[in-house]
Amino acid sequence: MEKVRDLVREGKRVAKEDPRRVVHSFKVGLVLSLVSSFYYYQPLYDSFGVNAMWAVMTVVVVFEFSVGATLGKGLNRVAATLFAGALGIGAHHLASLSGSTGEPILLAIFVFIQAALSTFVRFFPRVKARYDYSLLIFILTFALISVSGFREEQVLVLTHKRISTVIIGGLSCVLISIFVCPVWAGQDLHSLLASNVEKLSFFLLEFGDKYCETVKDGDTKEVDKRKNDFDNYKSVLNSKSNEESLANFAKWEPGHGQFRFRHPWKQYLSIGGLIRQCAYRIDALNSYLNADIQVSIDIRKKLEEPFRRMSFESGKAMKEMSVSLTKMIKPSSSDLHVRNAQSACKSLTSLLHSGILKEVESQELISLLTAISLLIDIINLTENILESLHELASAARFKDKTESPIFAEKPNSKSIVCGWATKGQDDHVVTIVNDDCCNGNTSEKGNRSNKVLIHEKHEDCVHEKHEDDDAHVHSSCDSCGHTSLRVIVECR
């Protein structure tokens, strides 16, 4: 009974982790029940006979968790069966020309050559990764048809029945997989990359604070707390095989949802490789939180501001990229965060060149410079990931990010209404500060309307405009050539 309870608990755990596994189990049962009717229903059994078992075998070996995996295996099985069946018939015909004496010898030679060559090809790495299963089906079908044909006079009928049942079994798997609670490998790959980027962002957002915080000697509670932090990123280190298999399955899938036919799945592998490289740096960087040799608190305080900014801005860029992937929108503010991280890196480099580390011991100096070097590598990789994401967004036609209308209220005022603002990657960021607007006090202004301060920022250019009356602002920046947002402010 204890084993039964353990099995039930394990089943609940698996179902809780991914309820789709339970649905998949019912789907397998459904399709097996359908193809089993070739045995249970007498008219179907009369048409196919014992060859109906091939439909059941096809379902068992073809039906996979995702649509792409099922399509890939199903098409490969059908193609291997057709090709092997044709060769088997050809081998049987050639062997029969030699007469009853030489026919079994030639058939044995054909089976030997086919099996030896197919088995040898299976050892090729690329072939084994993609077509290992298809070659097994090819060997099995060729051998069975060749051997059966020697004792079976109607070899064409036999081949037709076996191929038909294989096609019926494969087609049943594909239809059930697509139309009954489908699981798309492409969607899983997309979600996996977004989740991996988010895990890295969590580490980077918190690392600067953890590294620069002061820990008193003997504070074991804080040290233990450090050891338990930032474990989520470690799952990214071993995600390569999962990403490659999902990308391979996704290629077989038809267009669905926001994923068009011929979606750029290869770009996902490129982004995934960069994410893993970043995760390896993070794993090395994490070791410096618990290193035996720690940099003194005084030195950390001197480098604290740029060091925190480097880590935090990189984390913000990663977070924005994760959101961009999840919502399939073009990344907008990640570029700004990457530039801020690079700016903080320059500030930190200037501090190091100022001779601030002259009195630091050699072991502490090596530890500090290594951590800084790893963080710089992470910033560079973040920029590379962002560039690859821009390429993916362009190839996959991600949507532009749009902002909702902004409504703000002040005490003793009716309303301030701002028009729709669409902020793209090259637009200004406009901050509106409303002084004495709609407060009912118009005596000091006389007949003048409300005063609005428009503060525009774009990279290194800053402009300020004071507009009276109802403000319809549409200004341009001569230094950068971009146009600011159009803002309508109305007080009632």
Mark whether 120 and 171 lie in a shared domain. yes
d(CA 298, CA 304): 10
| Structural domains counted in the chain | 3
Q: Is the pLDDT of residue 430 over 60?
A: no
Give the residue-averaged pLDDT of 257-263. Answer: 85
pLDDT, residue 154, reads 67
Which of 134, 335, 296, 317 is CA-nearest to residue 215? 296
Q: What is the DSSP letter of 431?
A: E
Q: How far apart are the first and last CA of the chain?
A: 75
Q: What is the pLDDT confidence band of residue 426, given thresholds at 50, 70 and 90?
A: very low
**pTM (2 decimals)?**
0.73
Mark whether 326 and 371 lie in a shared domain. yes
Mark whether 283 and 225 lie in a shared domain. yes
Q: Is the pLDDT of residue 379 over 90?
A: yes
Residues with Cβ < 8 Å from 488, sequence gap 6 or more? Answer: 417, 418, 419, 470, 471, 472
pLDDT, residue 129, reads 65
Please say whether the dihedral angle defined by the alpha carbons of residues 91, 95, 96 and 101, taken in this order, is positive or negative: negative
Mark whether 267 and 347 lie in a shared domain. yes
Give the residue-averaged pLDDT of 231-257. Answer: 89
pLDDT, residue 428, reads 41
> Would you say residue 402 lies in a domain?
no
Q: Is the pLDDT of residue 267 over 90?
A: yes
Report which of residues 263 and 4 the model is more confident about: 263
Which of 30, 62, 58 is CA-nearest to residue 252? 62
Mark whether 192 and 174 lie in a shared domain. no
Reading the block at residue 418, the tokens are 């701002």
> Would you say residue 401 lies in a domain?
no
From 35-39, 130-134, 423-427, the region with the lowest mean pLDDT:
423-427
**Domain final position from 154, 179, 204:** 179
Give the residue-averaged pLDDT of 146-166. Answer: 72
pLDDT, residue 326, reads 93
Q: Is the pLDDT of residue 24 over 80?
A: yes
Mark whether 332 and 416 lie in a shared domain. no
Give the residue-averaged pLDDT of 279-296. Answer: 83
From 240-244, 301-305, 453-457, the region with the lowest mean pLDDT:
453-457
Residues of the domain holding 487: 407-491
**Domain final position from 179, 202, 224:** 179
Mark whether 100 and 25 lie in a shared domain. yes
Give the residue-averaged pLDDT of 397-413. Answer: 54
pLDDT, residue 230, reads 60
Mark whether 27 and 81 lie in a shared domain. yes
